[in-house]
Structure 1
Amino acid sequence: MAQTVQRTTTVVEEESRTVTLVAPQASPRKYQYIYFNFLTFSYAHLAALYGLYLCFTSAKWTTLLFCFVLFHMSNLGITAGAHRLWTHKTYKAKMPLEIVLMLFNSLAFQNTATNWIRDHRLHHKYSDTDSDPHNATRGFFYSHVGWLLVKKHPDVLKYGKTIDMSDIYNNPVLKFQKKYAIPLIGAVCFALPTLIPVYCWGETWNNAWHIAMFRYVLNLNVTFLVNSAAHIWGNKPYDKSILPAQNHMVSFLSSGEGFHNYHHVFPWDYRSAELGNNYLNLTTLFIDFCAWFGWAYDLKSVSEEIIKQRAERTGDGSSGVWGWGDKDLDHDIKSKANIFYAKQE
């Protein structure tokens, strides 16, 4: 009997060592490198740098405009689609909008939306611990891209199995994307962005391909900045005890995803930012337009009073970056924003 009790105690103690719920946390580990990813990421970034060079030297202006439009479509596939709609369910979308966002998401190619959603739900549940796929406690490079160059931490694999994905597995649009991922993503992300400039306005193959790679890699790194820079640099007006922060530059580049301290405090808010941030929040404007058009509905948001109370209780005393407490924010604009969002609730 004594041996049985001792064995039970040992198992419990061993199990407790793998529970990583308190951030920041990063236990010592030996990295297992994925060399294929090293090769593909190296090629993609070198091709993107050459594509950037071609933008200034030989590309047609129509190709540059096309690249700019596709970049923002890609952003929306991640921000409005994989992130705010499917991961956090901050609003609901009718089938036409889901299809559009699935195609935009395929254009961004950050794995299938299903895999992206699972990793992001895990990130929020165990943020900045070893159970977080891109644990920012391990530094900028790891949280930016390093996590994709090594095999997943055992805790990520373990706790990833506990994430409820039933809504995603039963979504017909996302099931279609996952089933036909290779031909669909290959065509939408790489083939069409290369073929259209060549056959529609006579761009060279060299320019079209490398500028498509530039757009793709730029979109990747903009998304990666939310995982890295927005978990390291910025102020924390809503919860000073967590790593996610408000970051102006990341918000500008990622169409509104850099108000990260707010987002981790209120992940169910479709705006992913406090009121007054629509200047840098193109994703919110896109969702608002879709709501006006009738394709998006049941938009969830947080009341002004709750936002203020949380900031006073756990914030660092700074403003929300063009949000509550920012004296430079125009009062009339903010009042109009209050009226608009009151109608949405």
Structure 2
Amino acid sequence: MPPQAEADTSTTGVLYESDVQTKDGGLDREVAGMKYAGSKKYDLVYANIIWFILLHIASLYALYVAFADTMWQTNVFAFVCYLQSGMGITAGVHRLWAHKAFKAKWPLRLTLMLWNTMAFQDSVIDWARDHRVHHKYSDTDADPHNAVRGFFFAHVGWLCCRKSDQVKAKGQLIDMSDLENDPILAFQKKYYMKLMPLVCFILPTVIPVYGWDESWANAFLVPTLLRYAIVLNATWSVNSFAHFFGHRPYDNALNPRENLGVACVALGEGFHNFHHTFPWDYKSSELPFYTLPNPSSAFIDFMAYIGQASDLKTVSNAVVRRRAKRTGDGTHKIWGWDDTDLTAEFKKDVTIHRPTKAN
């Protein structure tokens, strides 16, 4: 069985030492004194704004093409690319590298790095740095996608303007040596602008054309542009929808919420109140669903079963229940093991079939 946390050591769920350790080995505990969002003048990045507008216009047309003109093989291929690039974010940069919720052997790390590159959301090292800052300074002016600044800012607006001085200053304090010393991640960062166009745009376009005679236009629109836009918005929805809509069964003082819709489109990342309360849990959820709405957990479990993943960190049911009772909003019976719809047989089954490291 995966190792379980012995105690609830965090009072807020946002200060997790391996995530927010500073370069000098200490913990920067200025969270309580951070200035919260007020009026601010944004330094807009017009190149990003134009790119996002054009991408989404093209994606709307691509959605029409997917139903009206594209071969079924291309649509299936686009869905597979969506799963791969999505897993590169969820199982890869988020759970494996940003939170170190499990360990992975080099073949899995290489695969997740390539899938992450296909997602085109920056290198693993840069993405993980911003995410660690987000957890430490969540909903303050040092949070890169501070939800206090509004839904649009949290979703995509933060990428349409330059980072504030506070975001940049706090990002420089985060110790990223664990990822910088990984040769696979160092290779990705060094050659990112060569790898990314190949993996994100060229291969998803070329494969349908030479694989089953899809047209160049359809191949570029559906498995490339449309897939990329969907993965982007699925990831962004965790920062926006899951910070504005849903319940807070684990910590009512935290802004992030449980949102089933986000979990479905973001491959299991919508259980956001749980995640911010227990950021080291490899499932990012209390319940180990093996299909929707948490396929990322199923993927990690399978990788553990075949020996590619190990040391899966999770939180004991007792710790979760105590925390929910102490700080939750009273909706734990909807989201956790207290759900009356979860039969004793189901609970027994998922406990018995926990993945173990392959011999």
* Fold match by TM threshold 0.5: yes
2:38 is matched with 27
1:41 is matched with 52
Q: Residue 314 of structure 2 aligns to a residue in which SS?
A: coil
Does the alignment pair 1:195 with 2:206? yes
Does the alignment pair 1:287 with 2:300? yes
Q: Of 177, 183, 203, which aligns to 2:188?
A: 177
Determine the C-alpha separation between the residues in 1 that align with 2:289 and 2:245: 18
The residue type paired with residue 346 of structure 2 is: I
| Distance change >3 Å, CA 179–CA 276, structure 1 → 2 | closer
Does the alignment pair 1:142 with 2:165? no
**Larger displacement relative to structure 2 (311-320 or 137-146):** 311-320
Q: Of 332, 337, 340, which aligns to 1:319?
A: 332
Determine the C-alpha separation between the residues in 1 that align with 2:356 and 2:305: 12
Q: Give the count of matched residue pairs.
A: 326
Determine the C-alpha separation between the residues in 2 that align with 1:53 and 1:199: 23
- CA contact under 8 A between 1:107 and 1:185: conserved in structure 2? yes
Determine the C-alpha separation between the residues in 2 that align with 1:24 and 1:275: 35
| Distance change >3 Å, CA 22–CA 249, structure 1 → 2 | farther
- CA contact under 8 A between 1:21 and 1:129: conserved in structure 2? no
Unaligned runs of 5+ in 2: 1-29
Task: Answer with 1 or 2: which has the greater Rg.
Answer: 1
1:208 is matched with 219
The residue type paired with residue 132 of structure 1 is: D
| Distance change >3 Å, CA 109–CA 268, structure 1 → 2 | same
* CA apart distance, 1:300: 0.6
| Distance change >3 Å, CA 276–CA 165, structure 1 → 2 | closer
* CA apart distance, 1:47: 1.3
1:234 is matched with 246
| Distance change >3 Å, CA 23–CA 339, structure 1 → 2 | farther
* CA apart distance, 1:22: 6.1
1:264 is matched with 276
Determine the C-alpha separation between the residues in 1 that align with 2:330 and 2:145: 28
Does the alignment pair 1:186 with 2:194? no
Determine the C-alpha separation between the residues in 2 that align with 1:198 and 1:234: 42
* CA apart distance, 1:23: 8.2
- CA contact under 8 A between 2:146 and 2:154: conserved in structure 1? yes
TM-score normalised over the length of structure 1: 0.91
Q: Of 329, 336, 345, which aligns to 2:342?
A: 329
* CA apart distance, 1:114: 1.1
1:166 is matched with 177
CA deviations over 1:101-131 (Å, ceiling 9, x no partner) = 0010011110111110000000000001111
- CA contact under 8 A between 2:262 and 2:269: conserved in structure 1? yes
Determine the C-alpha separation between the residues in 2 that align with 1:258 and 1:235: 11
CA deviations over 1:59-114 (Å, ceiling 9, x no partner) = 00000000000000011000000000000000000000000000100111101111
The residue type paired with residue 140 of structure 1 is: F
* CA apart distance, 1:321: 4.2
The residue type paired with residue 129 of structure 2 is: R
Q: Of 107, 113, 121, which aligns to 2:124?
A: 113
CA deviations over 1:159-213 (Å, ceiling 9, x no partner) = 1111110011111011111111111110000000001111111111111111110
1:126 is matched with 137
- CA contact under 8 A between 1:23 and 1:242: conserved in structure 2? no
Q: Of 290, 306, 309, which aligns to 1:296?
A: 309
Q: Residue 70 of structure 1 aligns to a residue in which SS?
A: helix
Q: Aligned-pair RMSD on alpha carbons? A: 1.6
| Distance change >3 Å, CA 171–CA 320, structure 1 → 2 | farther
- CA contact under 8 A between 1:277 and 1:322: conserved in structure 2? no
The residue type paired with residue 68 of structure 1 is: F
* CA apart distance, 1:341: 4.6
- CA contact under 8 A between 1:236 and 1:244: conserved in structure 2? yes
| Distance change >3 Å, CA 320–CA 67, structure 1 → 2 | farther
TM-score normalised over the length of structure 2: 0.88
- CA contact under 8 A between 1:248 and 1:321: conserved in structure 2? no
Give the percent of matched residue pairs that are identical in Structure 1 and Structure 2.
50
Determine the C-alpha separation between the residues in 2 that align with 1:153 and 1:320: 40
1:95 is matched with 106
The residue type paired with residue 58 of structure 1 is: D
The residue type paired with residue 84 of structure 1 is: R
